[in-house]
Amino acid sequence: MTTYYPIFGIQFLTSIVIYLMLSYLFVFPYLKTKPRHTALTILILPHLVRHLGMTLLAKGVVVGDNLNQSFATSTAIGDYISMTLATLSILSLHKNWKIAIPTVWSFNIIGLSDIILAAIKGIKYQVLTDLGPQWYTIAFVVPLLTVSHILTFILLTKK
C-alpha cells in the first residue's frame, strides 16, 4: 500500500516555512505600522475561506467515497464555526465593539483547536488517500491559517 504521508508532510511543512518567512519579512513589519484592530482584521481575513471545509461532505464529488465521515463532519462543522467566529471578529473589530478582543480570542482558540483536532483525526483515520482535490486545501491553505493563528496570538498578547 502506498503511503502519501511523506509527500504530504513535506508539502505541509514547506508551506509553513514559506508562510513564516513571508510573515517575518513582510507581513509582521507591515502590521506593526497599523493600529491593533486593523492588524488583527488583516490576520483574520484569510479565515473567511474556511467554508471550503464543507467540501469534505461532498462524497464522490470532491473527496473519495471512503472518506471517514467522522473526520469529514467534524472538520466541516469546525471550519464553518471558525469562519463564523472570524466574521464576527472582523465585524466587531471594524465597529470597535467592546467585545472585539474577547471575540478574537474566542475565534483564535477555537479556530486553532479545530485545526489541531482535524489533524489528529486525519492521522487517526488515515484520510490522505480519500481527500482528492481537497488535499490542496489541507497542504497549502491550512498552513496559512495556522501561521495566521500564531501571528494573531502574538498580537493579542502584546499591549
pLDDT, one tens digit per residue, over 69-123 is 999 999 999 999 999 999 999 999 999 999 999 999 999 999 999 999 999 999 9
- pLDDT value, residue 2: 64
Give the integer Cα–Cα distance in Å for 147 and 12: 12
- Residue 129: name the closest of 79, 52, 49, 71 by CA: 71
pLDDT computed for residue 104 by the predictor: 98
Domain coverage including residue 25: 5-157
Distance of alpha carbon 150 from alpha carbon 43, whole angstroms: 10
What does the pLDDT read at residue 81? 98
Distance from C-alpha of 7 to C-alpha of 150, rounded to nearest angstrom:
24
**Cell numbers at 44, concatenated:** 483574520
Top-confidence residue, 21 or 64: 21
Reported as a pLDDT band with limits 50, 70 and 90, residue 17 is very high
User: Both ends of the chain: CA-CA distance in Å?
Assistant: 52
Domain count, the chain: 1
Q: Which single residue is written with the C-alpha cell 482535490?
A: 133
Indicate the average pLDDT of the chain: 94
The residue assigned the cell 469529514 is 72
